[in-house]
Amino acid sequence: MNAERIVRLGVLGCGTVGSSFCELITEQADEIARRTGMRIEIAAVSVRDTAKPRRGVDAGLLTTDSASIVADPTIDVIIETMGGVDHTKELVLTAFASGKPVVTANKELLALHGPELFEAAASAGVDLALEASVAAGLPFIRALRESLTGEDVSRAMGIVNGTTNYILSQMTENGASYDDALAEAQRLGFAEADPTADVGGFDAGSKAAIIATLAFRRAVRAGDVFIEGIESITAEDISNAKRLGYVIKLLAVVERDDAGSIAARVHPTMVPTEHPLASVRDSFNAVYVEGTGIDQIMFYGRGAGGHPTAAMMVGDAIDVAANVGLGCHRGVGPLPDATIIPIDDITSAFYISVDALDQPGVLADIAGAFGSRGVSIRSMEQEGITDDAARLVFITHEAVESDLRATLIELADLASVKNIGQVLRVVCD
Amino acid sequence: MNAERIVRLGVLGCGTVGSSFCELITEQADEIARRTGMRIEIAAVSVRDTAKPRRGVDAGLLTTDSASIVADPTIDVIIETMGGVDHTKELVLTAFASGKPVVTANKELLALHGPELFEAAASAGVDLALEASVAAGLPFIRALRESLTGEDVSRAMGIVNGTTNYILSQMTENGASYDDALAEAQRLGFAEADPTADVGGFDAGSKAAIIATLAFRRAVRAGDVFIEGIESITAEDISNAKRLGYVIKLLAVVERDDAGSIAARVHPTMVPTEHPLASVRDSFNAVYVEGTGIDQIMFYGRGAGGHPTAAMMVGDAIDVAANVGLGCHRGVGPLPDATIIPIDDITSAFYISVDALDQPGVLADIAGAFGSRGVSIRSMEQEGITDDAARLVFITHEAVESDLRATLIELADLASVKNIGQVLRVVCD
């Protein structure tokens, strides 16, 4: 029997994820040692309040001094679960500078400073592992970084925010209103008291930046992502979508055009019910990747939660610890800045709901407005009549966003159009 | 700009996968170089007939001598796409002995000799990469080996044979008979002229052995897997399943009990329609993994085909080539032999169709037969009456296989039971 190599971890932060991580490492230590020959130990854990007991963590390991953990030469690997951006970035850079690899689930940090951090890790010859930063319980980052490293990815679409997927699933399956579904999500702890980061699409936006960076090997940052939230989605939109054979999902979509320019966006989207993403319900996450070689791949799992997130960080920690032993590391290669396609130039199919006078000639006027901007109608249905107006629902073929916007302005100017209702992007195969 | 490191690949075999691999490597060479700093080249390709032109492969690289490729000291990495077991195993072992890592998609080889090959690779200090060997287009092997290395996987269930999934999808969606669906699959090239390896479950059985080995880090071989094919599935079974809220899928199921013993089996299975595996249609594959940390994860994608298989092998080749440069390799750790749970001792819920006399007291007799063996009935429906017999469909709670078998014998002995029809295992959450 070979002697086990001891690997000492310094854990920054001990909230839900940090304490789950420590528990998992302790529970699995023997099995990990059997599989890998490494005895993984928690050497120190930084917290705000050392007096508060932490399940699964020896009180003697607690400290309030994160910087001392990062500087400790007896610690091999840093596990960052404290969150935050500026201070955390300094700690991570210091860890790299002292030769320590870092495992993190910090999506804000990566969406804002990922390219810089990858470069610093590469210069220091250490790993930056981030499996848990996007769709935490799905091991797809490693797939993007390694299995698909030779793949020409054309598009990735993700359900990467569990809160909004829970809300939209409740609206779809139980006919709940947006407000009721949000309240239920808050009651169950899936949504924050201030739900803006989730329902406004900002959380998904950070994740879109990370996905685009790794899928296309170009620096894409949070500010490059076009964002629309789900606050305007109504029960009627959901039921219209269902009747037309779609479900509404908040998608993070990243795509690359033939010239190599990149579009990254987050918005509520009509997804055909037979599409694999349509069956991703409740607070589950999924990431669907398309490429020339692979055709289509989807990763599905728990997007958040202490245990799934911690499980992925354990995988990263073992991986990174193995690399330390082997004296090697994995970079993602150079990350030149991406050329970002402005939202106006992006092509998509659209769903548009229009209230128009219920009289002859109106449809010709409306069709004329679409046609004048080169937007081609794929299907039209009359969904109902209220007072003297008929509600017409259109789905277009793929059109350029700016042409669609111009069409909407032209439609609004028509005397026969009383109101333009919901406008949603539609996933085409 | 750093000088590019040249990496020379020796490719064994140039069928659909081998030629797609060579094409992809050639097409992507510049992008791979940009991302990784490595210039990947095809150095030699072994074929049976060097006179036959191969798309995307320079004729000057062709040779009939696989052994010369494996021995060539100027070649860094072996890509094995030739298939076969005994001769191929010798070539792979020779490659290891000469310090070359091997990338393979050869599931038969791995299902029969995987543990021995992993050990030989580890002794030689080189990689054995096998992402494309199971559900070729899904990068889940890497996830099992690396991201989930610290995870306590309890069960994995896979749709890992595209042919049978295509046949069962046709039967489910178009009401096709088994024979018609098989003929259509053969016409489209999804099924072989002799379809036994697919429809008999043998192909899935090899994959189950590989999944179990990597999920549980124990040596599980093809012969350890219990196998039932889909040949007995009728259109009526499919429609009964649908009415009860299930679809029938050929699943490879591997699971571990609390004592660490392992069950590996392949059989047609009733899957609840709301289960993520139920929505995997046509020739797509999926692998669904459950564990204490991750909860549930699913990987979905193309299970076969030259391009998806080759794309995964390109990812493996880059990974392995990077390791060569770094002077490191990744093993899966020691693989002690698994303790295999015999099929008789495995627990499952069951679907049983029984034709019984349509007269009072019969149900009590039947229920008594179940009860006497400790098999508890979850639901019963009468599906129809033919002549003087009623067709009764039962779904049981979880029961031990041997108790279920004893129940069937007891049922068959009842005077009121005219025939026992289909018996299928049912997935419970």
A residues 67-96 lying closer than 8 A (beta carbon) to B = none
- Token readout for A89 is 């970035």
Tens of pLDDT, residues B117-146: 999 999 999 999 999 999 888 888 988 888
Q: Which residues of B touch A293 (CB under 8 A)?
A: 20, 24, 307-308, 310-311, 314
Tokens of residue B52, six digits: 């036959």
Q: How far apart are CA B197 and CA B206, in angstroms?
A: 10
Contact between residue A426 and residue A240 where contact means Cβ atoms under 8 Å apart: no
CB contact B149 to A (< 8 Å): yes
Averaged pLDDT, B268-278: 95
Helix, strand or coil, per DSSP, at residue B186: helix
Query: What average pLDDT does the segment B8-34 reach?
Result: 93
- Which residue in A392, A399, A404, A408 sits closest to A240, CA to CA? A392
Q: Where do the CATH 3.40.50.720 domains begin and end in chain B?
A: 5-137+306-326
For residue B147, name the pLDDT band (cuts at 50, 70, 90): confident
Q: 3-state DSSP: chain B helix, strand, coil percent, rounded to 5?
A: 40, 30, 30
* pLDDT band, very low/low/confident/very high, at B331 (cuts 50, 70, 90): confident
pLDDT of A35-80, one tens digit each? 788 999 999 999 999 999 888 899 999 999 999 999 999 999 999 9
**Which residues, in sequence order, are CB contacts of A282 under 8 Å at separation 6+?**
A162, A165, A166, A169
Helix axis angle for A107-124 and A86-97, nearest 10°, is 20
DSSP B52: S
pLDDT in tens, A265-317: 999 999 999 899 999 999 999 999 999 888 899 999 998 888 889 999 999 99
User: How far is it, in rounded angstroms, from Cα A407 to Cα A281?
Assistant: 34
Find all residues with CB under 8 Å of A219, minimum gap 6, and list them: A114, A115, A213, A335, A336, A337, A338
Give residue-wise pLDDT tens across range B344-382: 999 999 999 999 998 888 999 999 999 999 999 999 998
For A194-223, the pLDDT digits (tens) are: 999 999 999 999 999 999 999 999 999 999
B154 touches chain A (CB under 8 A): no
CATH 3.30.70.260 residue window(s) in chain B = 346-426
Residues whose CB is less than 8 angstroms from the CB of residue B108 and which lie 6 or more positions away in sequence, other chains included: B83, B84, B85, B206, B222
pLDDT of the residue at B429: 66
Q: Do A297 and B293 touch (CB under 8 A)?
A: no
CATH class of the domain at B142-301: alpha beta
Query: Which residue stretches of A288-360 are H helix?
Result: 306-326
| Whole-number pLDDT of residue A378 | 94
Residue A387 CA to residue A380 CA, distance in Å, equals: 20
At A242, the amino acid letter reads K
Supply the pLDDT for residue A375: 96
DSSP A362-423: HHHHHHHHHHHTTPPEEEEEEEEEETTEEEEEEEESSEEHHHHHHHHHHHHH-TTEEEEEEE
Strands (E), B323-388: 347-357, 377-386
Q: Is A52 a catalytic residue?
A: no
- Which residues from chain B sit within 8 angstroms of residue A299, using beta carbons? 297-300
The residues, any chain, with a CB within 8 Å of residue B24's CB and separated by 6 or more, are A150, A293, B307, B310, B311, B314
Please write the tens of the pLDDT for every residue from A111-168.
999 999 999 999 999 999 999 999 888 888 988 888 787 788 999 999 999 999 999 9
Q: Do A14 and A46 touch, CB atoms closer than 8 A?
A: yes
Is pLDDT of A1 > 60? Answer: no
From B46's Cα to the closest Cα of chain A, the distance in A is 23
Amino acid at B211: I
Rounded to an integer, the average pLDDT of B197-207 is: 97
What distances in angstroms separate CA A95 from CA A77, A123, A330, one per listed residue? 9, 12, 16
Q: Are strands B38-46 and B62-63 parallel, antiparallel or unpaired?
A: parallel
The confidence score (pLDDT) of residue B428 equals 82
Residue A386 in this model has a pLDDT that exceeds 80:
no
Percent helix, strand, coil in chain A, to 5, is: 40, 30, 30
Q: Where in chain A is the domain with CATH 3.30.360.10?
A: 149-302
**Which pLDDT does position A429 carry in this prediction?**
67
Asked if B301's CB is within 8 angstroms of A300's CB, the reply is no
Gap between the Cα atoms of B102 and B302, Å rounded: 23
High-pLDDT (> 90) share of chain A, %:
81
> Which pair of tokens denotes residue A427?
């996933």
End-to-end C-alpha distance for chain B, whole angstroms: 54
Q: Is B132 left (phi over 0), alpha (psi -120 to 50) or beta?
A: alpha
Q: pTM of the prediction?
A: 0.90
- A344-426 carries CATH number 1.10.1660.10: no
Query: Within a 10 A sphere around the Cβ of B216, how many other Cβ atoms?
Result: 23
Would you list the DSSP string of A234-256?
A: -HHHHHHHHHTTEEEEEEEEEEE
| Catalytic residue ranges of B | 207
Q: What Cα–Cα distance (Å) separates residue B232 from each residue in B222, B417, B424? A: 22, 21, 10
**Helix H or strand E encompassing A261:** none
Indicate the residue of A137, A299, A330 with minimum beta-carbon distance to B295. A137
Q: Looking at the DSSP assignment, which residues form a beta bridge with residue B272?
A: B246
**3-class DSSP state of B250:** strand
For residues A39 and A4, what is the distance between their CA atoms, to the nearest angstrom?
6
CA distance A251 to A268: 6
Q: Three-class SS of residue A428?
A: coil
* Predicted local distance difference test score (pLDDT) of residue A70: 97
3 state DSSP class of B239 = helix
Whole-angstrom Cα distance, residue B90 to residue B12?
Answer: 13
Position B201 scores a pLDDT of 98
Average pLDDT, chain B: 93
Residue B158 near residue B264, CB atoms below 8 Å: no
CB A205 within 8 A of CB A257: no
**What amino acid occupies position A143?**
A
Q: How many CB atoms are located within 10 Å of the residue A343 CB?
A: 18
Contacts of A310 in chain B (CB under 8 A): 293
* Beta-sheet strands, E only, within B165-245: 226-227
DSSP state of B369: H
Is the CB of A156 inside 8 Å of chain B's CB atoms?
Answer: no
State residue B1's pLDDT score.
Answer: 40
pLDDT of residue B210: 97
Taken in order B304, B305, B308, B311, is the CA torsion positive or negative?
positive
- Identify the CA nearest to B384 among candidates B375, B376, B393: B393
CATH number for region A5-137+306-326 = 3.40.50.720
Mean pLDDT of B199-220: 96
The answer to whether B256 faces chain A, any CB pair under 8 Å, is: no
Domain B346-426, what fold? Alpha-Beta Plaits (3.30.70)
The angle formed by the CA atoms of residues A52, A57 and A58, to the nearest 5 degrees, is 90
Q: Which CATH number fits domain A149-302: 3.10.450.50, 3.30.2010.10, 3.30.360.10, 3.20.20.150?
A: 3.30.360.10
What are the structure tokens assigned to B364, written together? 């009590």
Is B147 close to A139, i.e. CB distance below 8 A?
A: yes
CA distance A148 to B123: 28
Name the closest residue on chain B to residue A2, using Cα atoms: B334
Q: What is the mean pLDDT of chain A?
A: 93
Structure tokens at A140: 């797809």
pLDDT in tens, B175-188: 999 999 999 999 99
